[in-house]
Amino acid sequence: MTFPDDFMWGASTAAFQIEGAAYEDGKGPSVWDVFCERGDRVFEGHTGNIACDHYHRWQEDVNLMKEIGLQSYRFSVSWPRVMPDGKGAVNQAGLDFYDRLLDGLCDAGVKPLCTLFHWDYPQALFQQGGWLNDESSNWFADYAALLAEKFGDRVHAWMTFNEPQLFIGSGHKAGAFAPGLRLSMRELLVTAHNVLLSHGKAVQAIRSRCSDTQIGWAPVFHAIQPESESAEDIQKARDFTFSTWRDDLGDNSWWCDPVYHGHYPEDGLKRWENILPPIKDGDMEIIHQPLDFFAFNQYASALYADSAHGEPTDRGVRGVGRPRTAFGWDITPQAFYHSLKWISDYCDLPILVTENGCSNVDWVSLDGAVHDPQRIDLLHRYLQATHEAISEGVPVIGYCQWSLFDNFEWLAGYSQRFGLIHVDYETQKRTLKDSALWYKNVIATNGGELIP
């Protein structure tokens, strides 16, 4: 058995991380533009001002996708590029850019998978309270309606949000990501509720404008690893994976239970019973819209459930000197396999992997190629885990590697390289890494080469 015939092989990017042209053609500033300009938050003061210059080089980039044989490409739209103030006036030049990109993808036979929001929130809306403002879900719904009207004829599948856990937890609680807030837990719960409402209203806005489309969203799925592969340990890890135990809303269930099951998880409701946001009649129905797939991002499982601790921990069974990526992330394909199994029990939808990959120490060698055997090995392991789950009946419909290019890696700036394609930021020269050539072969054989 190979992968299913209609399995979608793809790769992902996000607007802020690749587009550049931060202040061109009428684009408004995003919170990440402002955050980078502070100069003290991101590695060596890097910014997204030029990034991979994809805004100007999109045609070359689509050609490279074609060369690799990508069947789908997940990208995000920069909200302030198409609506400079986040609401009201529309920026035609911004819409034109995505029009060209979508036409180019369709001409190249690459299915466009469009994320509405991958963290670059309009600064103008942030100044009006951002996700704390009760109007925020209406602003997002209007933005979604605009994209659905303009691009609905070409987008194959939509995702409302990328990793709400991260832009809310790291951006609004830890103060680490833009906009750098450190809200109280009570306020954080308000932002989360507004993001969930935004998701629901955006799904409604897209659904009512695009009769034949697929809609989902792309949270990170934080898996807790079992201490061993015994049934008891697997169950314990699964229970932790679906419990609400973190202080930054980084959990899976706080976000996924409302979206997929129409209610907040009991343990979280109990934990925060005194500080819950007002949940109005009808809110949960808005949030709980029918979706077409369960999308998720996953890199590593940072924690595991061990018998000595009441909570998931990063201490213990993991070995000294164990293999890790350039970012120091563990390589945990077994947790990925379990995640796929757990998700398929949790909700009855096809599963789409929207991000998976690794940063690696890549450079152009003397022979002109970029040799990245570690990435090939890591992807191989995760794809084998995917195949194992599929062969046990888990309905995985596609896989997007993060990322198509080396790009702006948030706080790490350009110091971490996640791409299948190497980018020389001085010259903007693109070079297909060995992993891109390997992935090309994986796609051409529909994963046949991976099967042991």
Query: Is-contact 430 422, C-beta < 8 A?
Result: yes
Query: Is-contact 427 382, C-beta < 8 A?
Result: no
| Given the residues 355, 392, 426, 449, the one annotated as active site | 355
Query: Is-contact 424 379, C-beta < 8 A?
Result: no
Is 166 near ligand BGC (CB under 6 A)? yes
Look up tokens 């164990």; give the residue.
322
CB of 76 to ligand BGC, least distance (A): 9
Is 78 near ligand BGC (CB under 6 A)? no
Is 11 near ligand BGC (CB under 6 A)? no
Indicate if 409 belongs to the active site: no
Is 143 near ligand BGC (CB under 6 A)? no
Is 14 near ligand BGC (CB under 6 A)? yes
Look up tokens 């989360």; give the residue.
192
Task: Select the span of 23-31, 44-52, 159-167, 274-282 touching ligand BGC (CB under 6 A).
Answer: 159-167
Look up tokens 């090939």; give the residue.
376
Single-letter amino acid, residue 129: G
211 burial class (0-12, 13-18, 19+ CB within 10 angstroms)? exposed
Is 358 near ligand BGC (CB under 6 A)? no
Single-letter amino acid, residue 141: A
User: Site for ligand BGC (CB under 6 A): which residue of 71, 78, 162, 194?
Assistant: 162
CB of 273 to ligand BGC, least distance (A): 30
Q: What is the largest CA-CA distance in the chain?
A: 64
Residues 338-357 that bind ligand BGC (CB under 6 A): 355
Q: Virtual CA dihedral for 322, 327, 331, 332, nearest 10 degrees?
A: 120
Q: Where are the beta strands (DSSP E) in 298-403?
A: 303-305, 351-355, 396-402
| Given the residues 19, 163, 227, 409, the one annotated as active site | 163
CB of 402 to ligand BGC, least distance (A): 5
User: Site for ligand BGC (CB under 6 A): which residue of 409, 417, 421, 435?
Assistant: 409
Query: Is-contact 109 66, C-beta < 8 A?
Result: yes
- What character string, x for contact with ligand BGC (CB under 6 A) and - otherwise, covers 220-249? x-----------------------------
Indicate if 163 belongs to the active site: yes
Residue ranges in contact with ligand BGC by CB under 6 A:
14, 17, 162-163, 166, 220, 297, 355, 402, 409, 418
